[in-house]
Structure 1
């Protein structure tokens, strides 16, 4: 009976449809829906196999920044402190490009990032514990660039800028890319004229033979130079040849000290241009093997002239020539869903340095420092469908130089879990060995005046950093980072009042340790389509201990807060003009035995896009409007009584004009910390 009712119902429906069709049944009432608009925001942060991928171009699209160096400061957990890049929770961070390490000095890297346009970025990757296959220990920022394609033709960008601080500086840069068939070409060139100014006032209440003597100094410093920076690469299929270099010419530093001990002029002249050249070759084979190497040449020649009350005190010659060779072989296997990678790396550095004083015996040397570093690593990676991914690697490293041998075992671990993009959990464990500057290991002496001296340290040890971070990323935008950092035998460079002579000594020494524990919160939000705001709050405890800081000890501990507020405003969603206002603050902090005062600053800027297809851009920015981002350092412990107030001109007005041709999407290049240079 049930089946008969169902059959009868189907017959009625069929008959009704036929009747409606035969009578042109179009009288059914209709209703037009209103327009439906689906809104979505591009995610700022994604997880890809345990790596945090940051959409930096989206973050800074309305900011008055034109280069990658400035843009990095807007990334979650990253701080740009007067051009120095730091990653919260990491002792040191190395910047690489497209997964490749470029062995160039830090100042050269930053200059290159400054001349590289931000439009070239594809994305930026943050790895708190980079796998050993990157040949970098510890934290890494990997700048990933858009590669040129044959259909793009010649693309490029011209940029010119003017900076006004105490003195004016100016410069320009050209970036261009081209591809044809299997060939790719890349060029980035920058030329800048820089003139800097610094002002410090020091009070040294020096205890000698039971009597305190107040020695006061008022120092003004002026520096200027021309800098040429170039990066060029040529690729054919899996073979890539790159050159990067910097030539700094007409470089001079003038310092004037006026105080209790008289008037001192300390002048440094660079008798020849400072040369840095690096050439690298890399080949990726079809069987998963990568073979590469590079050669670095560095040369610096500096003359010092120190006078007191217009009477010559001493003349010195400082010279450094470094040849560094670097080779590596990497192999990767794909074993079903597992990745296995291993490799070997070798680096040899030959440092020919000399320091000669015409009238002083202390600190003279002329020798060669040889250093060999050999490392072997093995690692594995795996991602599971249920949301877990991890990478783990271990590296054994041996370092030998004229003064010491060091063995290191360097483990790296990164674990990420996310079932859906709404919540991402990440844990990182890493370690790295950080080596001192080559120049410091020679033990030379630099005289600032007849009271202040800087002394090298032949017994200076590399220190080992251990760090761990726990990241929680909510809705691919909000980030909370809980971190712990321990630097065993950490180094510090601070003044020390000698109890035996009337000298203030600067020397890099090893402490027992440096320890940080804290939490960093990053929170961006939008108000409509016109106002974007990002707040950052970093609370941490810092402790530094030394049992032997010269002939005294210290154990300094402090809670510190760092806060940052970034905002950008547009007049409408599609407005070509955007405004920005930023604030930063750091509470009183510490450095070794020294206490540092709080600092704050306010920045403001404007960005205007115009021309055909918005190919032109004009940026105006004022950094540190009220000139407050300079600290006061105080030491008052164990008989040390010293105070230094810094009055540097940190306020800076920047005006930048950019012209992009043929739809250019700009680019960047990167590196590790520098150990080069003839001064500390």
Structure 2
């Protein structure tokens, strides 16, 4: 605690040392008809005419340049207009009117391909509307998956060459789980996103480490009302549905929004096991079929408001909640060893409140509080082949309270230099319990009831330099972390160099480090049963995983991407299965490995033929190495080459009616995961989208994993362990989506709540 107090005192001293913060210069560019002009290049110079920063006007003619340089000069440049110069020291330049160039050509139409990516302050800024234009994309989440190098794997977004990627909104990390974030982004129209900033090494002021995508959301500046209603039907063996809507009010000084969605989901999972289990020198051939179904009803709610008077800072508040009042399941297992029936049921709820204040001068302050609670009960009955029986009831639950406070400060020094520093301080309290009531026979399971307190204190400092052909940034964050008896100090360096040696050429070098924490439930000394043979065991003392990654990226003509990457993850943790040596049990347990290393290359090649075909080919090759010296007395050190190719095609069938088709697929070679050997996997997806009623209504149909080969067959043949696992049934899904928009979409968006470490 003394160390934490010292860190707090140090952070307060840092804040007291400076009064200025990162400011922005914003304005709007219009023509003589008072219409907005898109694509105007705005270049900022200081009093000595030295380059400071640059930006481009958006579809509404608006621009924003992050800089504290005062006074300054702005140069407005556009091929069709005369260059304008503006000298000022204000944060808001108002409206700047440009006059058409006297040398502009009339009656000549020049068609070109709009660049989908720009370089802005060391980040790759993608125009999501341009990326998704003409594609069967219904919302912001689907548009993110269309970014070069971004793909969806097992329900989460990944970035080629970096692995997992964090999604943050308006420069702040989300505080929702990946599932909740995906659900809300699926209800967000693409045109509400101003741009998506892709960072392979996020600066520390974003409070995420490693790769990140920052969604910058449009802000309203006039009185407006807008909204959307949508509905989805999906069939994946069972029929599922969800529906919802959102409304947005905007005004010059304030904005407010409300989002609500609800749905019902029912899923089936089939797992076929063939376990050749050796016990006391005798081989037992165990063949089990696990049939698991789950049905749940869920609700999500969000309400947010922002007050931002001109030149007086910004105050925003948000409340987010998710509820699952009904979550029922049925698990049946039949086979040569045991017939089992389990009927779990439960509910959970999450509440999050956040408050953020961004002053004109001074530190950016934010406060966040989350409460999560869940309860679950289950009755299990096992009938073994030898005639014995066991039956028991289990009651479990979890309550998590988490609060965090962050502050961020930045100082501009002119000539492109900027200093940033700040900190994050957090506490979380977790209460987990699991109680058994035995009705027949007995097991080795014991009741558990535990409390964990988690403390985190993080301080960072860094600098960046903008120069005429690129930028450079470096930072270091020191973190103190304590969970129970585990105590750790860590240092996280970050560096990015971006260089554009000539027009059409871009080189970016990135270095980042991160730490990933296991869920609270995984760290409990508790055992949960899937059936009479398979069980999930907790791991007390499970350590966080560190990661160090580097990328060398070259982009040609803002389209063609070539990358070399390297990722090293000490103390990597993941859940794997092993056959217990002292009894007939297949144990799933999360353990720390010594390392998980990947290095390789990635190529992204777009192809466009006329106005009817837009394709993108992504190729990845890597070498993976996994080592664990303490894996149940079965140490492993394994390596394997892996390749993956993906092809996405968008076919414009017609413009009247507006009909688009999509056909995409991927193939991945065999891989390894600890002692597992994982077969090759592949998938083919197809979809169609119809846009009508002047673009306000969309209807789309999509079929994913048409041939049901996305979940590969896995096996273990390692040091006496023999296991076959096939879980590839019922992976095909058909989705029908309808959405209708009303009003005009010009506004801001929301933060989310991270619940990735909650739940059993």
**TM-score, structure 1 length as denominator?**
0.91
Write out aligned runs for 1:16-415 (5 A).
36-151=108-223, 153-237=224-308, 238-270=314-346, 273-309=347-383, 313-336=391-414, 337-359=416-438, 360=443, 362-385=445-468, 387-415=469-497
Aligned 8 A contact 2:352 2:753 in 1: no
Aligned 8 A contact 1:68 1:668 in 2: no
Aligned 8 A contact 2:376 2:395 in 1: yes
In the other structure, the counterpart of 1:520 is: 602
Distance of aligned partners of 1:586 and 1:673 in 2 relative to their CA distance in 1, 3 Å threshold = farther
Deviation at 1:575, TM superposition (A): 5.2
SS at 2:142 equivalent:
helix
Distance of aligned partners of 1:607 and 1:675 in 2 relative to their CA distance in 1, 3 Å threshold = closer
SS at 1:42 equivalent:
coil
Aligned 8 A contact 1:62 1:607 in 2: no
In the other structure, the counterpart of 2:84 is: none
Aligned 8 A contact 1:529 1:573 in 2: no
Deviation at 1:39, TM superposition (A): 1.3
Deviation at 1:572, TM superposition (A): 4.3
Deviation at 1:666, TM superposition (A): 8.2
SS at 2:184 equivalent:
helix
In the other structure, the counterpart of 1:29 is: none
Write the distance in 2 (CA, Å) between the matches of 1:324 and 1:296.
Answer: 5
Distance of aligned partners of 1:435 and 1:546 in 2 relative to their CA distance in 1, 3 Å threshold = same
In the other structure, the counterpart of 2:21 is: none
Write the distance in 2 (CA, Å) between the matches of 1:665 and 1:173.
Answer: 20
Write the distance in 1 (CA, Å) between the matches of 2:281 and 2:571.
Answer: 32
Write the distance in 2 (CA, Å) between the matches of 1:323 and 1:467.
Answer: 32
Aligned 8 A contact 2:339 2:532 in 1: no
Aligned 8 A contact 2:156 2:178 in 1: no
SS at 1:650 equivalent:
coil
Write out aligned runs for 1:573-612 (5 A).
576-611=658-693
Q: Which runs of 5+ in 1 are unaligned?
A: 1-32
SS at 1:74 equivalent:
coil
SS at 1:107 equivalent:
helix
SS at 2:630 equivalent:
strand
Q: Which runs of 5+ in 2 are unaligned?
A: 1-104, 309-313
CA deviation vs aligned residue, 1:113-148 (integer Å, no higher than 9, x gap):
233233322111111111111111111111122222
Write the distance in 1 (CA, Å) between the matches of 2:590 and 2:683.
Answer: 30
Deviation at 1:160, TM superposition (A): 0.8
In the other structure, the counterpart of 1:30 is: none
Write the distance in 1 (CA, Å) between the matches of 2:482 and 2:322.
Answer: 29
Write the distance in 1 (CA, Å) between the matches of 2:423 and 2:748.
Answer: 30
Aligned 8 A contact 1:277 1:298 in 2: yes
Aligned 8 A contact 1:157 1:664 in 2: no
In the other structure, the counterpart of 2:18 is: none
Aligned 8 A contact 1:601 1:628 in 2: yes
Deviation at 1:664, TM superposition (A): 3.0
Aligned 8 A contact 2:320 2:752 in 1: no
Aligned 8 A contact 1:116 1:666 in 2: no
Deviation at 1:377, TM superposition (A): 0.5
Larger Rg: 1
Write the distance in 1 (CA, Å) between the matches of 2:568 and 2:375.
Answer: 37
Aligned 8 A contact 1:561 1:586 in 2: yes
- Residue of 708, 717, 721 corresponding to 1:640: 721
Write the distance in 2 (CA, Å) between the matches of 1:283 and 1:239.
Answer: 5
> Aligned residues, how many?
642
Write the distance in 2 (CA, Å) between the matches of 1:377 and 1:623.
Answer: 43
Deviation at 1:65, TM superposition (A): 2.4
Deviation at 1:585, TM superposition (A): 1.2
Q: CA RMSD in A?
A: 1.8
Larger RCO (CA under 8 A, 6+ residues apart) = 1
Write the distance in 2 (CA, Å) between the matches of 1:402 and 1:666.
Answer: 43
Deviation at 1:573, TM superposition (A): 5.7
**TM-score, structure 2 length as denominator?**
0.82
CA deviation vs aligned residue, 1:318-351 (integer Å, no higher than 9, x gap):
1000000100111111111211111121010000
In the other structure, the counterpart of 1:443 is: 525
Aligned 8 A contact 2:579 2:587 in 1: yes
Query: Quick check: 445-454 or 201-210, which moved more?
Result: 445-454
